[in-house]
A and B are shown apart, each in its own frame.
Chain A
Amino acid sequence: NAGVTQTPKFQVLKTGQSMTLQCAQDMNHNSMYWYRQDPGMGLRLIYYSASEGTTDKGEVPNGYNVSRLNKREFSLRLESAAPSQTSVYFCASLVRYALNQPQHFGDGTRLSIL
């Protein structure tokens, strides 16, 4: 039972490069989320997808795009990476419209931009 799987776990980019972070969940959850966590800080919401086919901006969407490819997968794309995007990125999922709705997290992607 994998839960929420993020790939890659680590990545180093040069300024201006692009890349896509992948996230997949096998729990049949409706909603998926992308957060970033800077050192010593809390998680800030980048984008979320309340259900398949919808995506919405969170607190810090600038510089990012997302795709809800299907119910299982939610990807985050950096079109032109900047040093300010150096962070740990977490993907999460949640089953909506249930009596108990805990959010499940992946182990994170550590991204460094030089």
Chain B
Amino acid sequence: GIQVEQSPPDLILQEGANSTLRCNFSDSVNNLQWFHQNPWGQLINLFYIPSGTKQNGRLSATTVATERYSLLYISSSQTTDSGVYFCAVEAINNNDMRFGAGTRLTVKP
């Protein structure tokens, strides 16, 4: 199956700082998503982004499908941004959605 690698595995920021999270994948995809898992364990969909760029408030994401990577940008981070960020992908001609191991983000006040 498709391989998904996320980096960095852990990230500690001061409130107000910016950050970039990366997701590399091993095959062509027809679905790529970014999720945030909050401290209570809930998974919240941030972006559906198999290609191109999207923005939602302080968050934005870019997927370069031809080079098999996606980036999640968090600007002016807040303590409520803390949690684990997952990238999930679905390979073309396949229907299973695979997750990376995640990036654990801690934003300190």
Contacts and interface: CB of A to CB of B under 8 A. Distances in A.
Contacts of B48: 100-102
B83 interface: no
Interface in A11-61: 31, 33, 35, 41-45, 48, 50, 56, 58-59
Query: Binding site of A, secondary structure by majority: helix, strand, loop or mixed?
Result: strand
B42 interface: yes
Contacts of B100: 42
B95 A45 contact: no
30 contacts: A33-B97, A42-B99, A42-B100, A43-B99, A44-B99, A45-B99, A48-B95, A48-B97, A56-B96, A58-B96, A59-B1, A59-B98, A88-B41, A90-B43, A94-B31, A94-B97, A96-B95, A100-B48, A101-B31, A101-B48, A102-B33, A102-B45, A102-B48, A103-B33, A103-B97, A105-B35, A105-B43, A107-B41, A107-B42, A108-B42
Interface of B: 1, 31, 33, 35, 41-43, 45, 48, 86, 88, 95-102
